[in-house]
Structure 1
Amino acid sequence: MSLLVILVFLGIALFGMPLALSLGLAAIGGLIASDVEFNLLPSRMMSAVNAFPLMTIPFFILAGELMLKAGMMERLIDLANTIVGRMRGGLGHVTVLAGMGLSTVSGAAVADASALGSTLLPSLKKHYGVGFSAAICAAAANLGPIIPPSGAMIVYAFMAGPSVSVGGLFMAGIVPGIILVVGMLVICSIIAHKRQFPLTGEPFSFAAVFRELKRSIIIFMMPVIVIGGIVGGAFTATEGSAIAVIYALAIGFFITKKLKISDLPEALIRTAITSSVVGAMIAFASVVTYMLTIDMLPHKLLALIQSLTSDPLAYLMLVALVLLIVGMFLESNAAYIMLVPLLHPIAIKFGIDPLHFGFLFVFNLVIGMLTPPVGVVLFVICGVSGLKLGELSRHVWPFIAFMYALLLVCMFFPQLVLTLPRALGY
């Protein structure tokens, strides 16, 4: 029965059917193949989505939508341009730093890709050509799920259960996220010097940096307040996400004054659509997971893996290989919902730290959003830039290679991931 459920889901999803519907049909297939009553379906689905922590997903999505409509991108770009705009390849550096700033608000790679592509791509193409410009936008957008707050980490923590905290995963992403930013800046510089990109932007000025920093500080206070409050225990992740929405409304209406009442319906509709898709996947996946559980698949899988190896590092390498393949073909939310309940308990059995495994899992699937043939971020940037997928993939590979190198470093040196969470009591 387990094999039937998995094959039904993979077959339908890979042939282009929406993932939520694929999961639903896989769940029905599992019920047909088993002796379980069909009236189990609605109760399991309602139980899965009737969870207070899941409210963080729509709240953080809405906060990101509101901050973008409030003119946050323009301020982030202006600040980054005063700092690194005059360097060779300066607009590429600006894109990376803007992506880093945007990631502290939205937590979603797809939203960041759309914002960066529509805002910066026209200027980038004018100086650097469409290939490199599209690649740097795609790479910078992938910072969204790594640097907190991260929607991917919220989904992972929910699917993993009480052994993983959202705050702990958020903190686990900070140091690797900073290394990722620095690495992208270095790659951008190397390519810019190799191709002799022209200088852009105004000469560096401390006065200009101070001026733009003063204008932007109110934006950076949001992640400080929200993430700091969650980590410090002042409020839960769900309460923090609601505070982020209120903060975004206050900035848009009273600070930048670019957010209008007429902008709210569109932001709410986009949030509702995204949240409902994730909620539907979680609901149907709960039935699929239940089918796999009563068929003892987790125990069979654990026994199979233990017969192959007893080394935790070997298990991490095996999972990384599986997620590399999965990330090429499945959308990341579906992978979290389907695979976390299977692979996370096995990691605990192997004695692997839950936060370490959780970060590696998320990071691996985030890289998958840049890998063809089903790289969601690539599709967004292709739509904005007009490039074909193959052409964009040719330009983005240095960033993908660096991300996989960093993944391996984090795998072999867990202190890079765990030092900050441990220092904060996680």
Structure 2
Amino acid sequence: MTIAVILAFLVLAVIGMPLAFALGLASLIGLLAGGIDLSVMPQRMLHAVDSFPLMAIPLFMLAGELMVRSGIMRLLIEFADALVGRLHGGLAHVAIVAGMILAAVTGAAVASASALGSTLVPSMRKSYDDGYSSAVIASAANLGAIIPPSNAMIVYALMAGSSVSVGGLFMSGIVPGIILTLGFMALASFISWRRGFKLTGNRLKARELAIRTWKALPVLLMPVVVVGGIIGGVFTATEGAGISVFYAFVMGMFVTRELKLSDLPDALFRAAVSAAMVGALIAFAAAVTFIFTIDMVPARIAGLLQSVTSSPEMFLILVMLILVTVGMFIESNAAYIMLVPLFAPVAISFHIDPLLFGFLFVFNLVIGMVTPPVGIVLFVMSGITKLPMARLIRNIWPYVLLQYGVLVLCMLFPDIVTALPRAMGY
């Protein structure tokens, strides 16, 4: 059955069928090949999406849509410009800092790329070339899946079961996210200096800086309330997502006063479409996971890897190399759903910290979102800037190498990932 599923999925994906439908047809073929009652398929699909934690994903997506329409992005950018606008690559730093703050609200790289790109590209084009601008924004958008809250981490925790908590994974991303942000800023400055880009931004007096900070304070408090409430146990990730929607709505209607009731239908529609794509992937992939379980694929993989190596470190390296390849060719949500049930139990059998393995798994596939040929964030930025993909790839590779460098750093020094969540009781 497993071989039938894999072959069918590869053929359907190669001919260009959307991943959700490819997964669905592949699982149907697998069930037929195994002589299993087809009524199992809708049961597994419904069970997979009938999840309270999963409701956080569409809510965080809606919060991101409301932020774009409510003028919150403008306040974020003005605040970031006041802080770092006069550095080499000033607008690039603005994009990175804004991306870091936006990551603490939307939880999704694609949403961050769309918001940052549509807002900052016109300004960045006046000072930098499109390749540099697009690469910086795409990299900053990737922080959306690392810094909590993270939709990718929610999906991972859902697929991994009770071995890891959403809150613990959220906390594991904070320190690496800060390291990644600082690394992006240093790299952006170096490239800007090497290419001779002019300085942007104005020197602000202390009073002007204080005014911009005061205006942005309600926005800056938003991730503190949402993430702080989740990790403090005040509410769940799903409830936190609902609060973020309410917060963004109130900000847009009564603080910035740029959000209109007429904006809500389009925001709801866009969030629903994005969430439906994720939900369809999870539902169809659940049937595939069921087939893998029946065929005892996780046990076979564990046996194979244990026959190759008994070292937890070597196992981790092998899995990371597999994910590097997978991330280049398979959409990340599909990869989580298909591979987490296979590798997470094996990692536990090798006595690897579930939090460390979960973060490295997510981070690796997040990097895949900016690596060709199936880098979804690259396609978003190419669509916004109308930049040829080849030129975007030429500019993005230093940022991709930096992200892989941070991944290796986290593997060599696990406390970077685990110290904070363990200190908080996860």
Shared fold per TM-score greater than 0.5: yes
Tell me, in whole angstroms, the C-alpha distance in 2 between the residues paired with 1:301 and 1:205. Answer: 61
Aligned twin of 2:254: 254
Give 2:112's aligned amino acid: D
Aligned twin of 1:147: 147
Tell me, in whole angstroms, the C-alpha distance in 2 between the residues paired with 1:420 and 1:208. Answer: 35
**CA contact under 8 A between 1:20 and 1:277: conserved in structure 2?**
yes
Aligned twin of 2:30: 30
Aligned counterparts, 1:169-208, within 5 A: 169-208=169-208
Aligned twin of 2:337: 337
Question: Per-residue deviation at 1:188?
Answer: 0.8
Aligned twin of 2:43: 43
Aligned twin of 1:416: 416
**Higher deviation after alignment, 114-123 or 394-403:** 114-123
Tell me, in whole angstroms, the C-alpha distance in 2 between the residues paired with 1:179 and 1:129. Answer: 26
Question: Per-residue deviation at 1:88?
Answer: 2.0
Long gaps (5+) in structure 1: none
Tell me, in whole angstroms, the C-alpha distance in 1 between the residues paired with 2:14 and 2:407. Answer: 26
Q: 3-state SS of the aligned residue for 1:126?
A: coil
Give 2:233's aligned amino acid: G
Matched, 1:74 2:74: yes
C-alpha distance after superposition, 1:185-233 (max 9, x if no partner): 1001111111121111101432222111111111121111111111111
C-alpha distance after superposition, 1:77-98 (max 9, x if no partner): 1011111111221111111111
Aligned counterparts, 1:76-91, within 5 A: 76-91=76-91
Aligned twin of 1:17: 17
Tell me, in whole angstroms, the C-alpha distance in 2 between the residues paired with 1:14 and 1:216. Answer: 47
Tell me, in whole angstroms, the C-alpha distance in 2 between the residues paired with 1:319 and 1:97. Answer: 32
Matched, 1:240 2:248: no
**Higher deviation after alignment, 409-418 or 61-70:** 61-70
Aligned twin of 1:361: 361
Q: 3-state SS of the aligned residue for 1:105?
A: helix
Aligned counterparts, 1:86-235, within 5 A: 86-235=86-235
Aligned twin of 2:376: 376
**CA contact under 8 A between 2:104 and 2:227: conserved in structure 1?**
no
Matched, 1:267 2:267: yes
C-alpha distance after superposition, 1:254-278 (max 9, x if no partner): 1111111111111111111111111
**CA contact under 8 A between 1:86 and 1:204: conserved in structure 2?**
no
Tell me, in whole angstroms, the C-alpha distance in 2 between the residues paired with 1:11 and 1:413. Answer: 40
Tell me, in whole angstroms, the C-alpha distance in 1 between the residues paired with 2:156 and 2:262. Answer: 34
C-alpha distance after superposition, 1:102-136 (max 9, x if no partner): 11111111111111111111221221111111111
Tell me, in whole angstroms, the C-alpha distance in 2 between the residues paired with 1:225 and 1:66. Answer: 17
**Higher deviation after alignment, 83-92 or 7-16:** 7-16
**CA contact under 8 A between 2:44 and 2:286: conserved in structure 1?**
yes
Q: 3-state SS of the aligned residue for 1:156?
A: helix
Give 1:271's aligned amino acid: A
Tell me, in whole angstroms, the C-alpha distance in 2 between the residues paired with 1:206 and 1:419. Answer: 37
CA-atom RMSD in angstroms = 1.0
Tell me, in whole angstroms, the C-alpha distance in 2 between the residues paired with 1:145 and 1:334. Answer: 15
Tell me, in whole angstroms, the C-alpha distance in 1 between the residues paired with 2:391 and 2:235. Answer: 46
Give 1:128's aligned amino acid: Y
Matched, 1:281 2:285: no
Q: 3-state SS of the aligned residue for 1:128?
A: coil
**CA contact under 8 A between 1:67 and 1:105: conserved in structure 2?**
no
Tell me, in whole angstroms, the C-alpha distance in 2 between the residues paired with 1:350 and 1:209. Answer: 52
Aligned counterparts, 1:340-351, within 5 A: 340-351=340-351
Question: Per-residue deviation at 1:13?
Answer: 2.1
Aligned twin of 1:299: 299
C-alpha distance after superposition, 1:316-354 (max 9, x if no partner): 111111111111111111111111111111111111111
Give 1:394's aligned amino acid: R
Question: Per-residue deviation at 1:386?
Answer: 1.5
Question: Per-residue deviation at 1:60?
Answer: 1.0
Deviating beyond 3 angstroms after TM superposition, the runs of 4 or more aligned structure 1 residues are none
**CA contact under 8 A between 1:378 and 1:389: conserved in structure 2?**
yes
**CA contact under 8 A between 1:110 and 1:377: conserved in structure 2?**
yes
Tell me, in whole angstroms, the C-alpha distance in 1 between the residues paired with 2:26 and 2:91. Answer: 46
**CA contact under 8 A between 1:82 and 1:204: conserved in structure 2?**
yes
Q: 3-state SS of the aligned residue for 1:94?
A: helix
Give 1:149's aligned amino acid: P
Paired-residue identity, %: 57
**CA contact under 8 A between 1:59 and 1:241: conserved in structure 2?**
yes
**CA contact under 8 A between 1:107 and 1:149: conserved in structure 2?**
yes
Q: 3-state SS of the aligned residue for 2:163?
A: coil
Question: Per-residue deviation at 1:11?
Answer: 2.6
Tell me, in whole angstroms, the C-alpha distance in 2 between the residues paired with 1:407 and 1:112. Answer: 21
Question: Per-residue deviation at 1:10?
Answer: 2.6
Matched, 1:325 2:338: no
Tell me, in whole angstroms, the C-alpha distance in 1 between the residues paired with 2:15 and 2:421. Answer: 40
Q: 3-state SS of the aligned residue for 1:198?
A: coil
**CA contact under 8 A between 1:13 and 1:330: conserved in structure 2?**
no
Give 2:52's aligned amino acid: F
Tell me, in whole angstroms, the C-alpha distance in 2 between the residues paired with 1:249 and 1:303. Answer: 51
Tell me, in whole angstroms, the C-alpha distance in 2 between the residues paired with 1:169 and 1:215. Answer: 31
Aligned length: 426
Tell me, in whole angstroms, the C-alpha distance in 1 between the residues paired with 2:270 and 2:171. Answer: 28
Tell me, in whole angstroms, the C-alpha distance in 1 between the residues paired with 2:236 and 2:117. Answer: 33
